[in-house]
Amino acid sequence: MQYRTLGRTGVQVSTLVLGAMNFGKIGNTTQAEATAIVDAALAAGINTIDTADMYGTGDSEEIVGKAIAGRRDDIVLATKAAMPMSDERNHQGTSRRWLMTALDNSLRRLGVDHVDLYQVHRWDPRTSDEETLSALTDLQRAGKIRYFGSSTFPAYRIVQAQWASTANHLSRYVTEQPSYSILQRGIEAHVLPATQEYGMGVLAWSPLASGWLSGAVRAGREITTHRSAILPGRFDLTAAANQARLAAVEQLAALADDAGLTLIQLALGFVTAHPAVTSAIIGPRTLDHLHSQLAAADTTLPADVLDAIDRIVAPGHDLAPDEKFDTPPSLLDPTLRRR
């Protein structure tokens, strides 16, 4: 396992981070199965676990809490808030009112007195940066969080938040958690240059592109990834974007074979090769999934392989642009662009 410094915090994190989204309802992973995954991940050198309050509406945090009991100090523990937790309109977002409550709920479910990294799961356009940063700074000063970060922020919001923290003498976001894979490279154009400018750590989620780069989606074969049952539209091979993805996957699989690598090693090695990326978040549902991904822990892709990847999927290009999660609200909500 390799380790890198998380932004400018001085904290050392493994280049593979154990993501816990599949623990509980989403991945049908039981407590026993999740604990076995955590045990194996820690034994392999992974020292960072990432979860969120909305994963299974708290299930994931509870499972993680039980799995790490007695060894919390050896783990860099990260969670997130902002996504809806109920039908109550104020049980979401990044207001001081909700963040204070959401963190206490997360700490209770995790069975800990603090988290190392508390992340805003999505930018909340209804709440000012000053409101959010002030609340997070107070939580940090209270000792309930050590650092805080953003997740899936567009580049201009990253810049705005950094300015707001300086202008208001508040602590700043020290990390960003974007979606990044060979098939979704859009963040290379603006987000990653912004995180580098501000010295932010980057924890990349979905490095296997929801299973597209796991080997579970290949031409002429039945699709076996668990995500296809949850999000069938993303794997509908009649869609133009998915046809483009499948064509790229076939070329990438051949490239991996020629390089003596698995497709998973190629995919994870690509993500961690970018100088702006600190770690890739893996989200195994089973021990077999974990072991196949741990095989990439020491993978370093040579320049010729990286160049070949660039020829298959161009730098800064998303093969499925409709699946972006950082589209500005003004493009999604007609009322924001019409009088």
Give the torsion through C-alpha atoms of 264, 267, 272, 275, to 10 deg: 170
Residue 162's closest CA among 120, 194, 204, 203? 194
CATH of the domain at 238: 3.20.20.100
pLDDT digits (tens, 9 = 90+) for 307-316: 999 999 999 9
Residues catalogued as catalytic: 55
pLDDT digits (tens, 9 = 90+) for 124-154: 999 999 999 999 999 999 999 999 999 999 9
Global pTM reads 0.94
Residue 48's closest CA among 300, 297, 261, 263? 297
pLDDT digits (tens, 9 = 90+) for 231-278: 777 888 888 989 999 999 999 999 999 999 999 999 999 999 999 999
Domain count, the chain: 1
Full residue range of the structural domain in which residue 114 is found: 3-336
